[in-house]
Amino acid sequence: MRDEAKVSIVAAICTFGLAVIFKNVLQEELNFITMISPVILFLIYTWSRDVKSKFNTATVWMGVIVIVTIAIIALYAF
């Protein structure tokens, strides 16, 4: 599987997870930009994949997407 597909799947799962957790668990409304932040990070990954860096890998970007998603949930939960 290509790296872009892996990162896009992680972004989609995180976006879906944000929607489910905020609607059913936290019962709060989330603004649009915050809701699609995993997708925005995926777009940044696709635009920057030509940059040569040891930190510009699919694994790093998947980790960043998951960490940002968890941080958003934690921020609104507490």
Residues 57, 46, 14, 37, Cα dihedral to 10°? 120
**pLDDT tens digits, 12-33:** 999 999 999 999 998 888 889 9
Residue 36 backbone dihedrals phi, psi, to 5 degrees: -100, 15
CA 12 to chain centroid, in Å, comes to: 8
Two tokens, residue 74: 């934690």
Residue 54 has pLDDT above 90, yes or no: no
- In this prediction the pTM is 0.90
